[in-house]
Amino acid sequence: MSKFGRFLAASALMGAFATSAMAEKSFDYAFQGSLKSLDPYTLRETFTLGILTNVYEGLIKRGPNLEILPGLADSWEVIEPTRWRFHLRKGVKFHNGNDFTAEDVVFSAERLNSEGSDMKGRVPSDATFEIVDDYTVDFILASPNPILHYEWELWSIIDKDWAETNDSVRVTSASDTAETPISMMANGTGPFKITEHTAGVNTKFEANENWWNWENREFNIDKVNFTSISADATRVAALLSGEMDMVYPVPTQDIKRINSSSTLAALTGPELRTIFLGMDQRRDELLNSSVKGKNPFKDIRVRQAFFHAINAEAISSRIMRKQAAPSALMISPFLFDNADQFERLAYDPDKAKALLTEAGYPDGFEIRIDCPNDRYVNDESICQAVAAMMAKVGIKVNVNAQPKAQYFAKILASGGYETSFYLLGWTPGSLDSHNIFANLYGCRDDAGKGGMFNIGGYCNPEVDALAKEILVENDAAKRLDLVTQAYKIVTDEVGYLPLHQQGLAWGVSKDVSVAQRADNVLRFEHITKN
Amino acid sequence: MLAFIIKRFVQSLVVMLVVGLIAFVMFRFVGDPVDQMVGLETSIEDRERLREVLGLNARLPMQYWNFISSAAQGDFGTSYQFKRPVADMLGDRLPATLELALVSAIFALCAGIPMGVFTALYKDSVLTKLFQAVSLVGISLPTFLIGILLIYVFSVQLQWLPSFGRGEVVDIAGWSTGLLTSSGLKALILPAITLGLFQMTLIMRLVRSEMMEILRSDFIKFARARGLTPRAVHFGHALKNTMIPVITITGLQLGSIIAFAIITETVFQWPGIGLMFLQAVQDVDVPIMAAYLLMIAFLFVFINLIVDILYVVVDPRIHIEKA
């Protein structure tokens, strides 16, 4: 280390003492779920990945409005349709002091697609990488991919040397029977370091004064304590009692209680998640229905009738207590620029009845709706409301609500798609429409090959063909046009019955200011505290 | 004595095997563990591979046999969610639950016995009426409601006591204790009262009725006739004779205190084994569920044995051969 370097280190150390001499600001918050493994590739779940991006960073970053910003990559360009060049930020250091270079990016990309990773595909598995120099790396793709970097905020870059010396090259996979070091400790480049982690209970963070953007930081907190509190009432009580600066999610019925306090406020907004109903359009005979020998949902008039019978406004105002925005599409309007061209089919029970009569069901029929009761906001109540609305047009809906563990085991591919009418919520992981067409509208076979989450089995080859074009179209305007075309088809055919964009509700002390992102990710770097 | 203990031990083994079997049959209906272990977008092939590695494709009797045979060697497998040996996890979380259970049992005894004695001796006192009203609340309100009420009053309104967690803990030779820090002790008060209130009520009522019964008996009359002080009569003779059922109930209730701690731990986000079990049920973490159920079964069997032995110590009229 040069003399100057030593001087810098010494003054940094003094700086550290100086700040600790001042009153330390700690931000305490609680979330419903828990943080288990710290390995950022073990579980593809927004909460886990989101909390870890305070410690690790991706090549890109997303701002408070989910806009794409430079992260560990300063800039990037598409040199050829299949070759992307990323210029990396210089002077970035991992928490252990190692330099961040192109090697770490390639290492992380390979680790991402390795056996046991739950993040496979976030970098296309057939991509190859070329290190141009220490701070430039090329991604060579098999086919063009305009949204290559969309999901990369939550793709954490890991230090190659550190992983190698700490036996953490291998991903801590779901099938592992022992912890790997990286599942218990973290070494990222981010603005916060993990100082203590008790899996499933709490995690403590401390600001990283060597962060590359320290000089321009927005936050003024020194410590963050995260606690998992699963019981809704206890979580809200912890906020009301002043023990917590923030808790989320807040149950809709408690929003008023929080807002009535002089020191607290409920921060609400639409989430990216769309809550919708799906209809079995694949089986020849519906499960748990009075109609035998045929499938009424194969008739578009029946699907339209169901749509007309549902009063989404009422669900949003009564059941969701206005914490939801009725939705015409299967994607949040945040994520699709032409969303305003689409409208819901009007609530019109008479028209629904007429359509049912026309389709040959003047007296309606009976069907069961499968519904989770602990997954989405007020999920079971929504199903009950739907049943009541359907009853008005002569359809008898029996509600079968189950805990999510049983529910998903039954309705997903692993359970053989055992449902004919169901409620589900979906957030496109890539924050892009292609995800919707591939997962929810893509044709599938009985084993789930194709649109794996297309539980109802909607299938239109035209949409599949458009989805393929959307995937590789680099021209933004053309791409938007293709996406709009595809939405036109699936909306006209009533492939699903979208209900609403679920609302987000965070309970926050008035002493702190946070940025609420529509993907429910809390970034510590936007937190300030009085 | 030894033969008696061995016989009981064999019986308890059978009980535990049956508990394990019932648990394994039940796990089939809890859901699919794999769905909880990977993200929504994980491919079917990856899920299938995982299922194979975890041994979930094996037939149920085989899975049961694998579990029992390794459990017999002290290996309860690895948690699906945490990738840690379940035995270690139980070890980490057990101190929290045991401290809570112990403190609430002490609370139940220390408050329940004097209250029982008092209400038996002064039947018409105002305080007796009050105690009986409290006991009615304790016996009729569900635990979670009591917990939430206490949180509302003491955490939200008065802001005296924390509403969740254990506060600061100190680690002593692998045992994390909250009894040595002020925040730890403060955090213990509400959960301990919540968990102990029902037991306190039970003990109070038991002591009261036993005491009233015994105060009417002949030997108490003779004791009084001998001119013993009321204090000696009440505490030296009457109370001592009410202790047999109290010991039985307290012993058996200690097991249920630990088992019922699930609810209290959830309400107060108390990081003990009960909370861990409940989260395991939500996550379909089969190894944790299985180990927890076996442990609770063992606990009950063990406590029963201890209670049986204590009988002999307290009441020499009981002979083991007859038991």
Contact A227, A247 (CB under 8 A): no
For an interface test with B, which of A34, A177, A376, A440 has the most B Cβ atoms less than 10 Å from its Cβ?
A177
Q: Say if CB B315 and CB B307 are below 8 A apart.
A: no
Q: Which two tokens stand for residue B202?
A: 């039970």
Q: How far is CA A7 from CA A13, A64, B29, in A?
A: 10, 37, 64
Nearest Cα residue to B193 out of B225, B216, B160, B230: B160
From chain A, pick out residues whose CB is under 8 angstroms from the CB of B80.
Answer: 174
Residues with Cβ < 8 Å from A228, sequence gap 6 or more? A30, A31, A32, A33, A34, A35, A200, A201, A202, B269
A73-109 pLDDT, tens digit each:
999 999 999 999 999 999 999 999 999 999 999 999 9
A40 cis-preceded (ω within 30 degrees of 0): no
Instruction: Residue A45: list chain B partners with CB under 8 A.
Output: 39
What mean pLDDT do residues B211-216 have? 86
How much is the pLDDT for B314?
67
CB-CB neighbours of A446 under 10 Å:
11
Please report, to the nearest 10 degrees, the dihedral formed by the alpha carbons of residues A463, A467, A470, A472 taken in order: -140
Cα A275 from Cα A280, distance rounded (Å): 17
Are A307 and A497 within 8 A, CB to CB? Answer: yes
* Interface contact B49-A227, CB threshold 8 A: no
Q: Calculate the CA A237 to chain-centre distance.
A: 27
Quick check: A241 and B41 CB within 8 A? no
Give me the pLDDT at residue B88, please.
87
Residue A17's pLDDT band, with cuts at 50, 70 and 90, is very low
Of A67-71, A518-522, B61-65, the poorest mean pLDDT is in B61-65
pLDDT score at B321: 54
Closest CA relative to residue B214, chosen from B248, B232, B239, B236: B239
ipTM of the predicted structure?
Answer: 0.82
For residue B86, give the chain A residue with the closest CA.
A177
Q: Are A408 and B31 an interchain contact pair (Cβ–Cβ within 8 Å)? A: yes
Q: Is A196 on the interface with B (CB under 8 A)?
A: no
Contact predicate B210/B203, CB 8 Å: no
- CA–chain centroid gap for B255, Å, is 4
Q: Measured at the alpha carbon of residue A206, what is the angle toward residues A87 and A216, in degrees to the nearest 5?
A: 45
- In 3-state terms, what secondary structure has residue A205? strand
Residue A8 has pLDDT above 60, yes or no: no
Which pLDDT band holds residue A10 (cuts at 50, 70, 90)? very low
- Using alpha carbons, select from A321, A319, A322, A298 the residue that is nearest to residue A310: A319
Structure tokens given for B29:
């209906």
Q: Do B148 and A233 touch (CB under 8 A)?
A: yes
What is the Cα Rg of chain B in Å? 24
Token duo for residue A276? 């919708």
Write the CB contacts of A392 (distance below 8 Å, at least 6 apart in sequence).
Answer: A309, A349
* Residues B245 and B206: beta-carbon distance below 8 Å: yes
pTM: 0.84
Position A3 pLDDT exceeds 60: no
Query: Rounded to 5 degrees, what are φ and ψ at A271?
Result: -90, 170
Q: What is the pLDDT of residues A136-172, one digit of tens each?
A: 999 999 999 999 999 899 999 999 999 999 988 888 7
Nearest-CA distance from A222 to chain B in Å?
A: 20
Residue A405 is nearest to which of B148, B151, B282, comparing CB atoms?
Answer: B282
pLDDT at B107 over 50: yes
| Distance of alpha carbon A516 from alpha carbon A459, whole angstroms | 36
Look at residue A11 and give its three-state secondary structure.
helix
Q: Closest Cα to residue A433, out of A443, A441, A444?
A: A441
Residue appearing with tokens 């005296």: B160
Question: pLDDT for A321-360, tens place per residue?
Answer: 888 999 999 999 989 999 999 999 999 999 999 999 999 9
Within 10 angstroms of residue A530's Cβ, the number of other Cβ atoms is 9
Alpha-carbon distance of A132 to A106, in angstroms, equals 11
Residue B124 predicted with pLDDT over 90: no
Q: Which of A47, A386, A448, A389 is nearest to A230 (CA)?
A: A47
Q: Show the tokens assigned to A223.
A: 């410590």
Distance separating alpha carbons of residues B254 and B306, to the nearest angstrom = 12
User: With bands split at pLDDT 50, 70 and 90, how would you rate the model's confidence at B58?
Assistant: confident
Check B151 against A234: CB less than 8 A apart.
Answer: yes
Closest CA to A221 of A14, A11, A29, A10: A29
Rounded mean pLDDT, A15-20: 44
Residue B312's CB is within 10 A of a number of other CB atoms, namely: 15
Concatenate the DSSP letters of all residues of A219-262 into one string: ---SEEEEEE--SHHHHHHHHHTTS-SEEEPPPGGGHHHHHTSS
Residues near B323 by beta carbon (within 8 Å), at least 6 away in sequence: B4, B308, B311
Cβ-Cβ contacts under 8 Å for B169 (sequence gap 6 or more): B176, B177, B178, B181, B184
Model confidence at A238, in pLDDT bands (50, 70, 90)? very high
CA distance B50 to A305: 42
Chains A, B: CB pairs < 8 Å: 145
Q: Could you please report the per-residue DSSP string of A355-405? A: HHHHTT-TT--EEEEEEESSSSTTHHHHHHHHHHHHHTTT-EEEEEEE-HH
How much is the average pLDDT of B100-126?
90
**DSSP reduced 3-state for A12:** helix
CA distance A477 to A488: 17
Q: What are phi and psi of B128, to 5 degrees?
A: -60, -45
Q: Residue A218 has what DSSP assignment? A: -
Helices within A115-247 (DSSP H only): 160-165, 181-184, 232-240
Which residues 209-228 of A have a C-beta within 8 angstroms of B? 227-228
For residue A25, the 8-state DSSP code is P
A413 pLDDT more than 90: no
- Average the pLDDT over B215-219 and give the result: 85
Most B CBs within 10 A among A201, A202, A431, hence the mutation to make, goes to: A201
- Per-residue pLDDT tens digits for A333-344: 989 999 999 999
| Cα R_g (chain A), whole angstroms | 25
- Binned at pLDDT 50, 70 and 90, residue B143 comes out as confident
CB contact residues (below 8 A), chain A span 423-452, against chain B: 429, 439, 447-449, 452
Residue A9: pLDDT band (50, 70, 90) is very low
Beta bridge pairs of residue A248? A31
Predicted local distance difference test score (pLDDT) of residue B309: 75
Structure tokens at A367: 């069907």
CB within 8 A of B173, min separation 6: which ones? Answer: none
CB distance B42–A439 less than 8 Å?
Answer: no
pLDDT value of residue B320 = 55
To which residue do tokens 């639950």 refer? B97
Which site among A175, A179, A232, A431 would you substitute to test the B interface, given the most B Cβ atoms closer than 10 Å to its Cβ? A175
Q: Does A414 touch chain B (CB under 8 A)?
A: yes
Instruction: Return the structure tokens found at A411.
Output: 């309705």
Instruction: Closest CB to A230: pick one of B53, B155, B269.
Output: B269
Which residues make Cβ contacts (< 8 Å) with residue B2, sequence separation at least 6?
none
Task: Say how many CA atoms lie within 13 Å of A226 toward its Cβ.
Answer: 30
Interface test with chain A among B27, B38, B41, by most A beta carbons within 10 Å = B41
DSSP class of A330: S
Residues B77 and B68: their CA atoms lie apart, in Å, by 10
- The pLDDT tens digits of the residues spanning B228-260 come to 888 888 887 888 888 878 877 787 788 888 887
Neighbouring-strand partners of residue B175: B172
Over residues A471-488, the mean pLDDT reads: 93
- Chain A, 245 to 274: residues with Cβ < 8 Å from chain B are none
**Separation between Cα atoms, residue A213 and residue A93, nearest integer Å:** 11
Interface of B with A in 144-163 (CB under 8 A): 148, 151-152, 155-156, 159, 162-163
Mean pLDDT, rounded, of chain A: 90
For each of the domains in chain A, give its residue range(s) and CATH number, in order of start.
27-245+511-529 (3.40.190.10), 270-504 (3.10.105.10)
Of the partner residues A173, A237, A408, the one whose CB lies closest to the CB of residue B156: A237
Interface of A with B in 275-334 (CB under 8 A): none
By the 8 A CB rule, do A255 and A505 touch?
yes
Pairwise CB contact (< 8 Å): A227 & B269: yes
Cα A48-A51-A57 angle, rounded to 5 deg = 110
Beta-carbon contacts of A368 under 8 Å, excluding residues fewer than 6 positions away, are A287, A288, A289, A397, A398, A399, A400, A420, A421
Q: Cα angle at A28 between A25 and A33, to 5 degrees?
A: 155
CB contact under 8 A, B37 and A174: yes
Is the backbone of residue A236 left (phi > 0), alpha (psi -120 to 50) or beta? alpha
Q: Across the strands, what pairs with A366?
A: A396
| CA distances for B194 relative to A279, B188, B197, angstroms | 46, 10, 6
